[in-house]
Structures are given as structure tokens and as C-alpha cells.
Amino acid sequence: SLVCGVFAGYALSRLSFPFAGSLGTGIFITYLVPQTLLFIPLAEIIRNYRLGDTPWSLILTYPTFLIPFCTWLMMGYFKAVPKELEECARIDGASRWQAMLYIVIPVAIPGILSAGIFAFTLSWNEFVYALVFLSSPGQKTVPVGVTSELIRGDVFFWGPLMAGALLGSIPVAIAYSFFVEHYVAGLTGSVKG
């Protein structure tokens, strides 16, 4: 999702082609569509391909909200990168592809890391698709497993519930603490160099 979002964000923010603005707006509106509206047709697709209760059901459905989000985030970040950097590389003989790979993307690393952290957090905390597509306790994600396995009616198993919540938050805390410097630079849109 992040790779698709980076390339789509670059294309929509840097390349001039017909309906680029409308396409960018359409991607943003796609991100605003609630997941609860999409899970019924996606459930039909998952059922037809017999992917229910497998990790592939989530691998194929998570990009429906991750790619528009990453594209929208990267469009804003690529617009903040000065076009003069890319133009100088083009004048020196680099193709557009080389200028993107060797100039623009390295400068946009903080934005890419920010989009990756947000995409990881969105997919880690996603609840609806995991609840609908996964049923066996061994396949459930942490948010779904904690709520469905440790709450029985009106009986809460508080010790395991709190332990599950703590263990579920550790990967997100590690990701944020490991990339915090680049994450802040990505949020402020700073460009070095």
C-alpha cells in the first residue's frame, strides 16, 4: 500500500496530465468512504474466492483504505518538496524516473516514514474487516481477539483483557518511538538540503 501510495502521490502531485486534480480529489473522497459500506461487497468477494478465515482476506482488503490514505498523504508531502531539485537533476541529464528515484524520494523519506507509520497504525487497529473475515481464534487480530475472546456477555476478564491491551499497544509504541524524529519531520513537511 505504501509503495502504491508513493508512486501515485508522486504522479498526482508532480506530473501534469488531464484530470490529475479530479483524480486526486477522487482518491481523497475514496478514503472518506466508511469501511462499513465496503465490507458487504468485499465479504462477497472473499466468500466467492473462498478466502474467509485466512490472512489473505485481510491482505487483499486492507489496501482499499490504505492506498487512498497513503496517496493523499504523499501528494501533500511531494507538493512540499521544491520542484527546483527535480528540475536541476533533469537539466543535468537525469530522466524523470532517475530524478524521482535519486532526488525526490530520498528527500521525501520523512514523509514516506510518516505514511508508513500511519498505515501500520491503521491496519494494526482495524476492527471491522478483521471481525467479519476472521472467525477462528488462531487467525484473529489482536483488537478483535482481545474483545471477542476475553469478553463473554457482561463478564469481563480484566486481567487478561488489560494484558492483551498492553501487548497490542507495544508494536505501535515501538514503531512510533523508533521513527519519532523522522515522523515529526514528516508532519511538519520540513525539507533538508
Query: Class for domain 2-188, per CATH?
Result: mainly alpha
Predicted pLDDT of residue 177: 82
In the chain, alpha helices (H): 2-14, 20-32, 35-48, 55-61, 63-80, 83-91, 96-99, 105-107, 109-125, 128-133, 142-149, 158-178, 180-188
pLDDT of residue 184: 64
pLDDT score at 19: 87
Residue 125 scores a pLDDT above 80: yes
Which bin fits 192, alpha (ψ -120 to 50), beta or left (φ > 0)? beta
Among residues 3, 4, 24, which one has the least CA distance to residue 14? Answer: 24
Q: Say how far apart CA 131 and CA 138 lie, in whole Å.
A: 13
Task: Supply the pLDDT for residue 50.
Answer: 92
For the whole prediction, is pTM greater than 0.95?
Answer: no
Enumerate residues 6+ apart whose C-beta is below 8 A from 124. Answer: 141, 142, 143, 168, 171, 172
Q: Which whole number is the average pLDDT over 12-18?
A: 88
Report whether pLDDT(193) > 60: no
Find the angle CA(178)-CA(180)-CA(184) to the nearest 5 degrees.
Answer: 160
pLDDT tens digits for range 128-168:
889 889 888 888 998 888 888 888 888 888 899 899 889 88
Stretch 174-191: mean pLDDT: 66
